[in-house]
Amino acid sequence: MDLLQNTIRPYAWGSPTAIPHLLGTEPTGEPQAEMWMGAHPGAPSRTPRGSLADVIAADPERELGAAAVARFGPRLPFLLKILAAGAPLSLQVHPDLDQARQGYDDEERRGVPLDAPHRNYKDANHKPELICALTEFDGLCGFRAPVQAADLLDGLGVDSLKPYVDLLHAHPEDAALREVLTAVLSADREDMARTVTEATTACTRLGGDYGPYADLAHHYPGDPGVIAAMLLNHVRLQPGEALYLGAGIPHAYLNGLGVEIMANSDNVLRCGLTPKHVDVPELLRIVRFEPSDPGVLRPEASPDGEEVYETPIDEFRLSRYVLPPGGATHDLTRPTPQILLCTAGTVRLGDPGEQELTPGRSVFVPAGEHAEVSGTGTLFRATVIA
């Protein structure tokens, strides 16, 4: 088992204190948004044997197992993160596998540089993801029923929003949602900025259900994404609860600390709440315009104490062990690669003293490697289904 040294990403929306508090280190005063665990080429974890990407590339079947290599190729198919949102992330959506391949191939044919700011597809893979809350965690996920979104917008008393309210009462619902999102993102920027300013004043005055959108507007004044966000479900996760975000589901993380796992991809189509490129026609091709419940996930416990967050994809499988004082030792040996992450307490791996994990520390366990855990605390387990 390899103890991992992981890169912390200083994105502007990151909390300056949440990750340092978890790790027991002093804040630097700068935002610390994500800690990456895995072999993503952008910031692979480091091990005593070299970068995890190089370790896997040197002997994929040894590190990943023959079944995982046959299923997903010679690379770790997931990326595990600790995510600390101190401010809202961009409103975004991810493509499915076919859409990603088509989009990537199209931009390659057209010679769009991979680092171009208007490039949509960095790779040909999809990016389903799961976020599990470590603290209270606020987010937006999936479309509200159009009539509910209409009531929310109408309650602001902003005249320039009335046409959107009327459209949201139209049928069928998917067409109504498509038409309103298209109109919001395609509107004249100056006109929309005035509408957002009026809406922000109303949200601040009304509070309650409007509070999250007042906060969005504080961070992104005049951004049409503030109005687009009001079409979505607001959800507050309690620690241990999770959200699964499949292809085509618009979403944004607003505030909180969580463990995130995703397929190893960088493909993001943005809807707003960002100074970055928004490709409206491509976005409309990807978004699933269907009302949905956010679908809060709670882990399903197995007899051996493993609590699994069930998802419909195989590139990753996230579970956790909550280890009580004086509890049993658990055998986590598995024929697929694993990353084990401690988020609370002290977790021991292997023979006494072999490895000891405290909050924020993680290890990579090659396929088939014997792995026993004990101690008192919380341990997240990331692997694949192959």
Catalytic residues: 270
Give the helix ranges, DSSP H, for 28-187: 52-58, 60-64, 66-72, 97-109, 146-154, 162-168, 173-186
> What CA–CA distances, in Å, run from 271 to 37, 43, 92, 133, 197?
27, 26, 5, 24, 18
SS (H, E, C) 188-222: CHHHHHHHHHHHHHHHHHHCHHHHHHHHHHHHCCC
Pair of tokens at residue 385:
């289904």
Please calculate the CA angle 116-121-125 and round it to the nearest 5 degrees: 150
Interacting residues of 11 by C-beta distance below 8 A, sequence separation 6+: 31, 33, 34
- From residue 78, give the alpha-carbon distance in Å to each of 130, 283, 289: 11, 24, 27
**Amino acid sitting at position 61:** E
Residue 357 is which amino acid? L
User: Do the Cβ atoms of 92 and 266 come closer than 8 Å?
Assistant: no
Find the radius of gyration of the CA atoms of the chain: 22
SS3 23: helix
Two tokens, residue 290: 């269907």
Structure tokens at 292: 């949905």
* Tokens standing for residue 272: 């707003």
